[in-house]
Structure 1
Amino acid sequence: MTFVDGFYLIDETGSLTNTQFRDVEDRLTVRLDCTMNRPERAVVMLTVSGGTESHLVSAPGQPDFHGTIAPDAVLDYGAKGIALGSVQFGRNCMLMEKYLRRSGSSSSHCRKFIGSDGMEYKWQAGTDGHEWSLTNAAGYHVADYTRSDVLIPGRRTSCLSICGTWIHLSVEIIASLTIMRHITHYRL
C-alpha cells in the first residue's frame, strides 16, 4: 500500500459549478453540482463521499426525511449567478462577503476565513508557482491549487493538495477556494 503525505485531489474540469475533486488514492471525493442556474441566482452544492478504501476521512452525507443526501455545503450566488450571495455549512448560513473577508489591502486576491476549528485561514493568489495557496494564521502551509497539463497529458487539469493535518476542513477549503476563483473569474 502506498502512503501519501496529504491529499491530492484532481479536478479534471476546472469548472466553478460542475466538477468533482477526487483524491488520487481514492480516499475522498467532493462533488460540486449546479442545482439551479437562473437569471436571478445560481446554486452549487458540495457533497462529500469517501473512496473505496476502508480509511475514509469523512462519512458520506446522511439521507434526509425524503431519502435524499443533504449537501455538506451550499454556495448560493446572486444576480445572474455572478454576484456573491451566501454560503451554508449544515444549518449555518452567512454572506460570502462576511465568510471570506478581504485580508489587509483592498485586493480581492487575498482573503481569509474562520474555519470550523476556530482557526483563521488565508487564501493568496499566485505564490510559489501555484494559482492559489492557503495558510493558517501561524503561517503554516495548508493547501495549494495548481493548474497543470502534467497529470493527464493533453488535458489541462487542476490539483488541490491538502496537507493531511487539515483534511477535516476539506469541504471548507474547497468551498472557499471555489468562491475565491469565482471572485477572480468575475472580477468582483
Structure 2
Amino acid sequence: KAVRPSSVMGATKRVAELILQAYAANPANKTVFTMVRFGNVLDSSGSVVRLFKKQVQRGGPVTVTDPEMTRYFMSIREAAELVIQAGAMAEGGEVFVLDMGEPVKIMDLARSMITFMGHEVQEPGNPQGDIKIEICGLLPGEKIHEELLIGGDVRPTLHRRIMRSIEPSQPWRELEAKLAALEAACHANDTRV
C-alpha cells in the first residue's frame, strides 16, 4: 500500500517509511531503522482467505472486488521470519521484501476455496453449482495489482528469498517542512495539501 499510494492508509505508510529513512540517514543517530513490506498474510485477521471461508460456510455468495485483482501472499511464519531477518541484516534506511513468487489472482483463489470446501461455483456454464461469486467493485483507493517496490535498485541478501530495496528518500529538513505543512493543514481542515 505504501508504493505509489492510492489511499490514506497507503499514504500514511509511505510517510512513515520516509520518516524512518530520514532518521536512518542521520549520522548522529545510533539506532538502525529499516522497513519491511508484507504481502497478504494468510489466515491473519482480515485475511481474504478467512473472509472467503466464512462466505462459503454461510452458503455464499463469495465476493470478489474485481475479476482481474491479484495479490501477493505469505504465511505468518514467513512474515515473522522477514521481520527477524531484516533486523539482523539492516544497515539503515532500506526496505526488505520477501520473494513471494507470482501474485495470485483473487478470482482463482475464490474458485479454489469453493471447490476445496466441497462446493461448486454457480455460473452460466454450471447452473447447478451451489455457491455464487459476486463482483462487488473496487473500494475507494483499492488497487487491482499490488506493487512492492518503488525503484529498481533491488539487491540480494544472504537470505535467498529476501531482497533489499534501496529507495529514494528525502533529507530530514525537507521532510520536516512538509510534515509541518501537513499538520497545519489538518488543524485548519485544509484538504488541498
TM category (shorter chain) comes to under 0.3
Q: Which has the larger radius of gyration?
A: 2
User: Which one has the bigger strand percentage?
Assistant: 1
Higher relative contact order (CA 8 A, sep 6+): 2
